[in-house]
Structure 1
Amino acid sequence: MLRLSLRWRVALALGAGTVLLTGVLAVVTWNLASGYMLRQREAGALRQAEVNAQLVEQALRSDTAGLGDLLSGLTTDSDATVLIERPDGWLLSGRQVDVDALPPALLRLAAEGVPARQRIDTGGVPVLAVTLPVEGGRSTYLELFPLTQLDRAFRFLSTVLGVGVGTSALLGVGLGYWAGRRALRPLTELTAAAARVAGGDLRARLPERDDPDLASLATTFNRTADALEKRVQRDARFAGDVSHELRSPLTTMANAGAVLERRREEFSGTARRALDLLLGEVGRFQRMVVDLLEISRDDQRPDDEPDEVVDLGDAVHNVVAARVDDGADNAAEGSAFAVEITARPLVLADRRRLDRTVANLLDNADKYAGGPVRVAVLRHGGRARVEVDDAGPGVPQDQREQIFERFARGANAGRRGVDGGSGLGLALVAQHVRRHGGAVWVEDRPGGGSRFVVELPEVHR
């Protein structure tokens, strides 16, 4: 079920309240105005009918020969009608109407000599029928006053009130949306700042507020962000210091291991296996220390932005060529792979970090996925893209975000030896790509295996 945002709920609530208020005012205005106008019209028609009835009664008593001229003079309105009931039938002047179509109740009251009035419709024309007895009740005077102008006034008034209610509803929704947006602006800023912090930008802060209700929120968030930034920097410095201090003993251990490796023929089978395990762990430890140093260095220099325009196709080609020269493409059987550079987009990058990103993706395919089978450089959706396909079993859906976390090694977490990884390679990839304003993810490769995708913003000269 679609759930509206808080901003729209505020807007619709204010719009509904505005409609309710203006609707009530419109109904009250309509009743008061229409009632007043109708009463005034009825009172005027009744007075006019009484005067006309008196004239007719005088004409009936003196001389009926001029009655027709009198009735013609009384019907000045083209829609007005005057009827007089005579012993020989009804005498009619003005707009012609069917007497039999008049309400029977009104005609009965007229026959009984009872004064009456009633709003009716004759031939599509709304009229006010007024009946009065004349000649002491021996005759009946019936006059039909047209209500066309009054009906038009009612229609105009109802249209104005309806448009007013509709306009007030739109204004209410617009005002509610504006007020909701303004009221929720601090929350929007807080959400944006929190998202930046979650994305790695620890410098995100909220602007200071003069409003006492918002000042404490901004102060608390900024204080928390300051503490988090300092904690991350302390941890980065600690990791860097530890890694730096470990490099000297690790170098000594590696050199000692190299000496032992040259004399391995002097050792027994068990000692050789122990030596291989030792050298493998020392090598893995060295790679971990190097990765930790690079991560801590990046964490301590968040302002270090890429400033070099790099041809992405050339960069990937050079990394692949360096692996071939070093013999890295023979790390696994059948590890030769296709290189498809279908475009040469330009990106703003740090060349060292960009090279390390591509190299880590290729190393990851070698260590965990049977080696890379394809590396491609292309454009997609206006962005530069690098795709690295491997021959492995693929990455489960629930681990596709986890593998980019630090020390995440998935099913290989328990592996040791020369083929084991530190769990920092893909974390470095994600960190370098974020620093370049790009995105990295893993998806299924057509035909099986995984496809690691790096997208970076393209620059144009």
Structure 2
Amino acid sequence: MRIVGPSLRWRVAMAFGLVSLVLTGALATVTWNLASGYMLRQREDSAVLQATVDVRLVEASLRAGSGGLRDLLAGLTTDSGSTVLLEREDGWLTSGRQVDPAALPRPLMELAEAGVPARQRVVVDGVLVIAVTLPVATDGSTYVELFPLPELDRTFRFLSAVLIAGVATSAVLAVTLGSWLGRRALRPLTELTAAASRVAGGDLGTRLPDTADPDLAPLTSSFNRTAGALEARVRRDIRFAGDVSHELRSPLTTMANAAAVLERRRDELGGTSRQALDLLTGEVDRFQRMVVDLLEISREDPDAADPVDLLDLGELVAAALAVRPGPAPAVERAAAPVLVRGDRRRLDRVVVNLLDNADRYGGGPVRVGVTRHAGRARVEVDDAGPGVPEHLREQVFERFTRGTRAGRRGDDGGTGLGLALVAQHVDRHGGTVHVCDRPGGGARFVVELPEAAP
């Protein structure tokens, strides 16, 4: 099974997005490290400076012995979130937000008790703080001050959100830009694909517009030359088929008349001669139908206007069945008339050819349906044959194709052009034709045409 990956345009767009994501992500990471590191150092230096000033005030108060130490500590904690702790011989004095001294990191406190100034970012009771420890020179006490960082934390969150949003926005814009550039760069290839599809669909007059781009001009010129050569070849083949068919009509008429004369004298012929006459009559009849089909195909002019009538498909099918010999198949018609606009002769030929195909290859038609499906008029012809294998379901609409009976002679009298004419006439009316399995066995040929308003 073939795995279909993303298109070239989207691969280009994703490459743009990935490159932008890597570059802006690296830039955002560097910006974050520089900005956060700078702001954090500034805050730590400010905290150390503030703690140094405060510990000098404490030392001065202790030297004065005024007894107002608690009031001084309370005055130092003007910020409700800050904390001052002073370890003395008789225990801890605290001010501000109450913190258990045991919650402080033990290595930090060991440095403080050893008289070594230190600072550290820690989380105390769920709050990120800068802890600054300083020795008190007056009596050897330990001074600890905790500076909360809520504003710095909010700044970091805002900065990270801005950087992440910037990286994401840059990636989205890069994908959009890559998609736009990819679409513009692949526009010539898209036009070439569309033109090739139209040529494959039968529009042999399709050409690419001339371009001054030196990289695209050879491709455009080569395609136009190829399309022109193909159109000329097809038109020559059609003209040749028409000329040959036209020239064959006179000798074929003579042969048919001669066969008719012999048929009238059939009783005078022997057994072997009668068998030869039957073979001759059958082949001449088949040859006549083939020449008529070839003439109709060769006379097709895509630019010629067909007569357009408002037709009831149900009545058209009923008229085609009425003139056929033998028992008529079951007919299913929609309650309301199914209307289309088109050439009555061509659409009648479509129905007749489908019925003839069912007679020759499918054991005869067993059902004809005239319905609506998804806003389109629909004609279904079911047969009782073996069905059409999947690998032949497109091939049977090609010229001189008779499915699994191709290359064999028998009494079916098929020319291999009936379904090709069906496809040609249906396409001329803007419709489609396909074959599928009939429920219960056999084949179902389905024609869909644009439905017309009454």
TM-score (norm 1): 0.93
Contact 1:305 1:435 in 2 (8 A): no
- Secondary structure of the residue aligned to 1:348 is strand
- Give 2:302's aligned residue: 302
Q: Output the CA distance in 2 between the equivalents of 1:341 and 1:427.
A: 26
Structure 1 stretch displaced more, 284-293 or 311-320: 311-320
Mark the runs of 5 or more structure 1 residues left unpaired by the alignment: 324-328
1:359 partner amino acid:
V
Give the alignment partner of residue 399 of structure 2, picking from 402, 406, 421.
406
- Give 2:318's aligned residue: 317
Give a deviation string over 1:215-246, Cα, whole Å, max 9, x none.
33222222211111111111101111111111
- Give 2:240's aligned residue: 238
Q: Output the CA distance in 1 between the equivalents of 2:404 and 2:353.
A: 18
1:337 partner amino acid:
P
Q: Output the CA distance in 1 between the equivalents of 2:122 and 2:406.
A: 93
Structure 2 residue 106 is matched with structure 1 residue 114: no
Q: CA deviation at 1:127?
A: 0.9
Q: CA deviation at 1:414?
A: 4.4
Q: Output the CA distance in 1 between the equivalents of 2:122 and 2:353.
A: 92
Contact 1:45 1:145 in 2 (8 A): yes
- Secondary structure of the residue aligned to 2:211 is coil
Distance 1:412 1:148, change over 3 A: closer
- Secondary structure of the residue aligned to 1:131 is strand
Q: Output the CA distance in 2 between the equivalents of 1:59 and 1:411.
A: 114
Give the alignment partner of residue 84 of structure 1, picking from 79, 83, 86.
86
Q: CA deviation at 1:15?
A: 1.6
Q: How does 1:24-423 map to 2 (within 5 A)?
A: 24-135=26-137, 138-298=140-300, 301-304=301-304, 306=306, 307-323=308-324, 329-330=325-326, 335-342=327-334, 343-416=336-409, 419-423=412-416
Structure 2 residue 429 is matched with structure 1 residue 427: no
- Secondary structure of the residue aligned to 1:184 is helix
Structure 1 stretch displaced more, 205-214 or 18-27: 205-214
Q: Output the CA distance in 1 between the equivalents of 2:362 and 2:75.
A: 109
Structure 1 stretch displaced more, 309-318 or 357-366: 309-318
Q: Output the CA distance in 1 between the equivalents of 2:72 and 2:294.
A: 115
Distance 1:279 1:158, change over 3 A: same
Q: Output the CA distance in 1 between the equivalents of 2:141 and 2:426.
A: 104
- Give 1:453's aligned residue: 446
1:377 partner amino acid:
V
1:309 partner amino acid:
L
Q: Output the CA distance in 2 between the equivalents of 1:87 and 1:417.
A: 123
Contact 2:388 2:403 in 1 (8 A): no
Q: CA deviation at 1:52?
A: 1.5
Q: CA deviation at 1:459?
A: 2.0
Contact 1:315 1:355 in 2 (8 A): yes
Q: Output the CA distance in 2 between the equivalents of 1:135 and 1:416.
A: 122
Q: Output the CA distance in 2 between the equivalents of 1:194 and 1:310.
A: 34
Q: Output the CA distance in 2 between the equivalents of 1:260 and 1:172.
A: 84
Q: Output the CA distance in 2 between the equivalents of 1:147 and 1:369.
A: 88
Q: Output the CA distance in 2 between the equivalents of 1:399 and 1:157.
A: 66
Q: Output the CA distance in 1 between the equivalents of 2:90 and 2:66.
A: 14
Give a deviation string over 1:396-440, Cα, whole Å, max 9, x none.
222222211111123333444653211111111111111212111
Distance 1:229 1:59, change over 3 A: same
Structure 1 stretch displaced more, 356-365 or 441-450: 441-450
Q: CA deviation at 1:168?
A: 2.0
Distance 1:437 1:372, change over 3 A: same
Give a deviation string over 1:250-270, Cα, whole Å, max 9, x none.
111111221222222222222
- Give 1:326's aligned residue: none
Contact 1:283 1:418 in 2 (8 A): no
Give a deviation string over 1:350-397, Cα, whole Å, max 9, x none.
221111111111111122222212212111121111111122222222
Give the alignment partner of residue 18 of structure 2, picking from 4, 9, 16.
16
2:174 partner amino acid:
G
1:313 partner amino acid:
G
Give a deviation string over 1:160-219, Cα, whole Å, max 9, x none.
111222222222222222222232222222222212211212122323334332233222
Q: CA deviation at 1:31?
A: 0.2
Give a deviation string over 1:311-365, Cα, whole Å, max 9, x none.
2222222222233xxxxx23xxxx5312222242222222211111111111111
Q: CA deviation at 1:305?
A: 5.0
Structure 1 stretch displaced more, 48-57 or 236-245: 48-57
Distance 1:137 1:10, change over 3 A: farther
Contact 2:59 2:138 in 1 (8 A): no
Mark the runs of 5 or more structure 2 residues left unpaired by the alignment: none
- Secondary structure of the residue aligned to 2:67 is helix
Q: CA deviation at 1:136?
A: 5.5
- Secondary structure of the residue aligned to 2:208 is coil
Distance 1:303 1:363, change over 3 A: same
- Secondary structure of the residue aligned to 2:430 is coil
Structure 1 stretch displaced more, 209-218 or 386-395: 209-218
Q: Output the CA distance in 1 between the equivalents of 2:438 and 2:305.
A: 32
Length, aligned pairs only: 450
Q: CA deviation at 1:286?
A: 0.9
Q: CA deviation at 1:130?
A: 1.0
Structure 1 stretch displaced more, 171-180 or 432-441: 171-180
- Secondary structure of the residue aligned to 1:250 is helix
